[in-house]
Amino acid sequence: NISHVADVDAIIICVPTPLTRNREPDLSFVENTARAIAPYLRKGQLVSLESTTYPGTTDEILKPVFEATGLKSGVDFYLAFSPEREDPGNTQYGTTAIPKVVGADGAEALAVADALYGKLVVKTVPVSSTATAEAVKLTENIFRAVNIALVNELKVIYNAMGVDVWEVIDAAKTKPFGFMPFYPGPGLGGHCIPIDPFYLSWKAREYEINTRFIELAGEINSAMPRLVVEKLAEALDRHSGRGLNRAHILLLGLAYKKNVDDIRESPSLRLIEMIEERGAAVDYHDPYVLVLPKTREHSALAGRKSVSLDAANVAGYDAVLIATDHDVIDYGALVTAAKLVVDSRNACARAGAFAGNVVKV
């Protein structure tokens, strides 16, 4: 019951900010939430947006909606932006242990927002404006997207040269300065990194600026699922003399990263579709996703269930494709039972289970 927001002192907005099919920001959830709150907004309240978005959203979208009620930001109510920072599956850094960036509309609003978040987290990081705080979040995610794209491209290059990119990265990270390891994979997933960079690309066009790094990173990362499917087909050709048509494939891992149940933007969903478009049948195993829920982009896959990973079942597949490297998987047993394992995460080698039937991609 949205009317209850009138009874609280602080309102934190934490709603999805997806992309449209044309890769443009979809702020409908933010806008509709603001309009729902506005009739019940009262003097003295703090409203903080945490949804990732482009610089200017808080000031350009939320503020006008709230001020249309006759209340004035910084005088009658306080407006802030404080982005979520989380790393699903990370047991070291929970919410309270991660410093919180806080930006607000004016010094008094900043003091109020800082007081709230200061009670919740180990440290707050006040910045000069809501736009700055919005830019901080995008910068963090763009940094990851660009560096992941770099190692994905290096993977393609080194693979052609017969060089193991994972061995290269593991050796490079021994340098105590000037290098931070990122690892390749079958594509980007999660609710942030595949989406957020394009919020800045879209906003930058308003200033007639082309975001070449961001767009190129997006192209490289988006191409990874197709590359993995091609490598799977090649491995089947070499191992059994057959391609993907009429093959039976077991996809290992549906979540977008290991040890979590989050499938948002997971490349595994696209992999299933692409493999089946080539005439193969695909089952999946994921101990964290027992039933595939309905998603916006892959609704036809909804309802599929995780299959058993016992040796007899694994042996019945033409190939196992490792898309997510969950730690609970016994990779040694998997490699022993499988006819062919195509590993996009280097999981088998890291588990000491690399064998002649394992192909790294």
Respond yes or no: is residue 348 known to be catalytic: no
What number of other Cβ atoms are within 10 A of residue 12's Cβ?
14
| Measured distance CA(324)–CA(185) in Å, rounded | 9
Nearest to 339 by CA among 360, 312, 311, 318: 318
Q: Which residues pair with 203 in a beta bridge?
A: none
* Candidates 47, 133, 192, 275; catalytic one: 192
Burial 67-92 (b: 16+ CB within 10 A, else e): beeebebeebbbbbbbbebeeeeeee
Phi, psi of 311 (to 5 degrees): -60, -40
For residues 71 and 308, what is the distance between their CA atoms, to the nearest angstrom? Answer: 59
- Give the DSSP H/E element, type plus range, for residue 57: helix 57-57
- How many whole angstroms separate alpha carbon 271 and alpha carbon 286? 15
Active site residues: 192
